[in-house]
Amino acid sequence: MSYNVIYDGNCNLCVTLVQLLENIDRGEKFEYIPMQDLEALNRFGITAQDCEMGMILIDAKVPEKRWQGSDAAEEIGRILPGGEVFVAAYRAMPGMKWMGDRAYEQIRDNRYTLFGKRDDTYKSVYAVGCRSSASCPN
C-alpha cells in the first residue's frame, strides 16, 4: 500500500518532519507533494485553499480515501512500523484527541511565526511519480 503526503514545502517544521519520515520510510509507503506544486495538486483535484486546513494524506490506490490535518498525522503514525500501538493509546486517552486537534490547528496557523519559512520550496527525493522517472528533484 502506498500513500501521497501533501505538505507545506516552505515550512521549516513541515520539511523537517517530511525529511524524518523520508529517513524512516525510504519511499516504501510514502511519496510527497509540496502544496506549492499546484500542477501536481490539480491532478488530485486539490486546490491551494484545500491545503490551508493542513497536510493531506491520500491513499494512492483509492485516491478518494483521504485524511487531513491531525487526522493525516495520526494515520501516518498508524501506518509506520509499530505506530499503530501508540496511535491507539493516544486515541484511547480521554481528551487527547481533542487536545491534539487543537494543538495541530495552532501550529498549522502559526507555523511560519513559530518555526520560520524557507526561501526555497523543499521537494522530496521521494516525490509522487519518482519511482519510475528520471526527472525527479535532487
CB 51 within 8 A of CB 38: no
Domain map (residue ranges) of the chain: 3-131
Q: How many CB atoms lie within 10 A of CB 103?
A: 11
Query: Which residues have a Cβ under 8 Å from the Cβ of 44 and sit 6 or more positions away?
Result: 4, 6, 33, 58, 63
Bridge-based pairing state of the strands 30-34 and 56-59:
unpaired
Q: In the chain, which stretches have pLDDT less than 70?
A: 1, 131-138
Question: What is the residue type of 5?
Answer: V
97-136 pLDDT tens trace: 999 999 999 999 999 999 999 999 999 999 987 765 555 6
Residue 101 has what pLDDT? 96
Mapped onto helix, strand or coil, the DSSP state of residue 66 is strand
Predicted pLDDT of residue 132: 52
- Classified as helix, coil or strand, 84 is helix
CA–CA gap between residue 83 and residue 69 (Å, rounded)? 18
Q: What is the pLDDT of residue 129?
A: 75
* Cα–Cα nearest to 7, from 118, 90, 94: 118
Say what the pTM is: 0.90
| Cα–Cα distance measured from residue 20 to residue 26, given in angstroms and rounded to the nearest whole number | 10
How far is CA 129 from its chain centroid? 16
